[in-house]
Amino acid sequence: MGCSALCLLLLAFGLPSLYFSDVSAAFAFRGSKLPSKGYKAVVIQSKDWAQQRAASPQTVSAVCTESEVIVTINPDLFGTRHPVQASDLTLGGCGVTSQVSTPPAFVIEGLLQGCGGILTMSADEMVYSFTLDYSPSPIPGIPIVRSNPAVVQIECHYPRYQNVSSNAFNPTWVPYTSTKSAEDILGFSLIIMNSDWSGPSSSKTFYLGDLISLQASVDNTNQAPLRLFVDHCVAASATDGSAPSYTFIGLHGCFIDGKTTNSNSHFVTPRVNSSILQFELDAFRFYGVATSSIFITCTLKVTLASQATDSLNKACSYIPGLSQWISVDGSDQVCSCCDTICGASLPGRKRAEKLKPRPRRSALTIPAEWEQTLVVGPLFLEGQRPPVVSEHLTAMEAPPSGSSVLILGLVLGVLALACSAFLGFLYQKHFNF
């Protein structure tokens, strides 16, 4: 009985403490980036690095989450009691993002599709590979170092048929199947079309005053709907960079030729399809260049069709008669920057070299495989069309018809007979005398 009472007493005090211990642990990890089931991190040390460590405990570890890789480095990287400096550690160009005091550690967090990550696939899994580089720098004022450069390979393994978020577009994340399919299947094209858009042009010769019809498109079979843009286009008389060039589409989709030269160049409105963009370029030649050929180089890109157009993703034409810019997609306000600089003040759109050590993918960022540069040409530009020969001749130039020839023959025959009879009459009269 006494034992039963004691057991009940222990349970009464033990269970609540156990409960609060579990709850505290759960709240302690809430918000932390725990790896999901099936995600595996692998740390591979080079042979030279392992020897340098002199059999010290593991000092580099990694955790792979749905969208990131998190690498933790012990400051005593080689177990030699000489701490390394945080500035000497990089993961594919990404630096240390935070430091932990107890136990001391450096932490680098990077996106799976950032920090130099390379994606490979097998039948069962996909692997993101990263390189952790240690490049020792001398102690300030002392030109010596006590360690050698080292490289550690880090891999994140995921089941082949599981989605991985990249937080690149709306919705909040894009399934891996979409981003990988885009890399494998997206087919960009740029074609010179007939003036009525019925098909590819059979001729590559144009004349001043013509509108050159071009059609940009992307084949996104098995993809979410995409919207295609022509980011910029350059014309040049050669492709080796030695010839003069002219940018007629710039500023992320502004058809600037329409304003700078008061031309009829424009994007065709409305779109045939969100994945197709048609535009017409007022034909021109390069001044002082002997050759009449030009090559057109355009950079095409896509976004999800559900993503709103903005100053970086747009198709804007200048209408001289209205002295204003209009958008093919109806959002004319995104064209307001075509007279200045587009995208310079847009949040989250910075060049890679200016990014902070912990980059974050913006909703405005697109995967590299969703952009491609294409070249068409050579096109041949002539000054003026050859004169058209009229098929209608004047009455003086008209050839005789069949009936006219017959009548003319009869008249000549009658005249010939009359002349013969008259000559015969004169001949007989002469001999009678």
Per-residue model confidence as pLDDT tens digits over 13-66: 443 443 333 333 333 333 344 445 567 888 887 655 544 554 456 788 899 988
pLDDT of residue 124: 78
In tens, the pLDDT along 308-356 reads 999 999 999 999 888 999 999 998 999 999 998 886 544 434 433 333 3
pLDDT of residue 213: 96
Query: Can you list the positions of beta strands (E) in 79-186?
Result: 89-91, 98-100, 105-111, 118-121, 125-134, 150-159
Q: Is the pLDDT of residue 159 over 70?
A: yes
Segment 122-127 shows an average pLDDT of 80
Q: Is the pLDDT of residue 230 over 90?
A: yes
Domain membership of residue 415 (yes or no) is no
Do 282 and 198 belong to one domain? yes
Decide: 97 and 107 in contact? Cβ < 8 Å.
yes
Domain membership of residue 219 (yes or no) is yes
Q: What average pLDDT does the structure give for the chain?
A: 75
Do 206 and 310 belong to one domain? yes
Do 111 and 256 belong to one domain? no
Do 131 and 192 belong to one domain? no
Report phi then psi at 128, rounded to 5. Answer: -100, 125
Do 64 and 201 belong to one domain? no
Domain membership of residue 165 (yes or no) is no
Do 210 and 350 belong to one domain? yes
pLDDT of residue 42: 84
Band (271; pLDDT cuts 50, 70, 90): very high
CA distances to 29, 47, 54, 103, 368 from 89, rounded to whole Å, are 27, 19, 20, 18, 26
Q: Both ends of the chain: CA-CA distance in Å?
A: 185
Do 148 and 192 belong to one domain? no
Identify the domain boundary among 159, 180, 206.
159
Least confident window among 38-52, 225-239, 270-284: 38-52
In tens, the pLDDT along 107-122 reads 999 888 888 888 887 7
- Give how many domains the chain has, as a whole number: 2
Q: Distance (Å, rounded) from C-alpha 71 to C-alpha 89? A: 11
313: DSSP letter:
B
Identify the domain boundary among 121, 138, 159.
159
Q: Which amino acid is at 175?
A: P
Is the full-model pTM beyond 0.75? no
pLDDT of residue 19: 35
CA angle (155 as vertex; 152, 161 as ends), nearest 5:
175
Domain membership of residue 181 (yes or no) is no
Decide: 356 and 350 in contact? Cβ < 8 Å.
no
Q: Which residue has the higher pLDDT, 232 or 159?
A: 232
Domain membership of residue 251 (yes or no) is yes
Domain membership of residue 410 (yes or no) is no
Which range marks the domain in which residue 377 is found?
Answer: 188-382
Do 148 and 254 belong to one domain? no
Segment 135-164 shows an average pLDDT of 75
Do 194 and 271 belong to one domain? yes
For residue 310, the number of C-alpha atoms closer than 13 Å in the C-beta half-sphere is 16
In tens, the pLDDT along 73-104 reads 988 887 777 788 888 899 988 999 998 888 88
CATH of the domain at 61: 2.60.40.3210
For residue 112, the number of C-alpha atoms closer than 13 Å in the C-beta half-sphere is 27
pLDDT of residue 407: 72
The total number of residues shown for the chain amounts to: 433
Q: Which residue has the higher pLDDT, 422 or 226?
A: 226
pLDDT of residue 250: 94
CATH of the domain at 283: 2.60.40.4100
Do 203 and 66 belong to one domain? no
Q: Which residue has the higher pLDDT, 204 or 56?
A: 204
Band (274; pLDDT cuts 50, 70, 90): very high
Q: Is the pLDDT of residue 400 over 50?
A: yes
Do 131 and 276 belong to one domain? no
- Helices in 244-345 by DSSP H: which ranges? 257-260
Q: Distance (Å, rounded) from C-alpha 130 to C-alpha 153? A: 6
Bond from prior residue into 244 cis (ω within 30 degrees of 0):
no
Which residues does 267 contact at the CB level (< 8 Å), separation at least 6?
A: 230, 255, 277, 278, 279, 315, 316, 317, 328
Domain membership of residue 94 (yes or no) is yes
Of the chain, the percentage scoring pLDDT greater than 90 comes to 30
Q: Distance (Å, rounded) from C-alpha 375 to C-alpha 366? A: 22
Do 204 and 340 belong to one domain? yes
Domain membership of residue 391 (yes or no) is no
Q: Which residue has the higher pLDDT, 187 or 47?
A: 187
- Looking at the DSSP bridge assignments, the partners of residue 110 are 69
